[in-house]
A = this chain, B = another copy of it.
């Protein structure tokens, strides 16, 4: 079973990587960009019986830093 976990910075947390991408895109001539946020995506191939609780545990214990990051589990 393929599961995708998307980890993004919480609103209000500074995102220097996103800012750098934003400035670079403008420097390349792409206009009309209001905001850029950078995050991570982790694609897991797990056993079919893996529960939501297990996936949640993986995120909380390792994949996401819940102080500054949100995560979303997409099956």
Residues of A within 8 A of B (CB): 6, 8, 18, 21, 24-25, 28, 30-47, 49-50, 54, 57-58, 61-63
Q: How far is the CA of A33 from the CA of B5 in the complex (A)?
A: 14
Q: How far is the CA of A21 from the CA of B7 in the complex (A)?
A: 14
Number of this chain's copies in the complex: 2
Can you sample 8 A-B contacts with CB below 8 Å? Answer: A6-B41, A21-B62, A21-B63, A25-B58, A32-B50, A33-B44, A33-B45, A39-B43
Residue of B8, B34, B40, B50 near A39 (CB, 8 A) is B40
CB within 8 Å for A38 and B36 given contacts A30-B57, A58-B30: no
With A6-B41, A37-B42 already in contact, 15 other A-B pairs whose C-beta atoms are closer than 8 Å: A21-B42, A28-B61, A28-B62, A31-B47, A32-B46, A32-B49, A33-B44, A34-B45, A34-B47, A35-B45, A38-B40, A38-B41, A38-B42, A39-B41, A40-B41
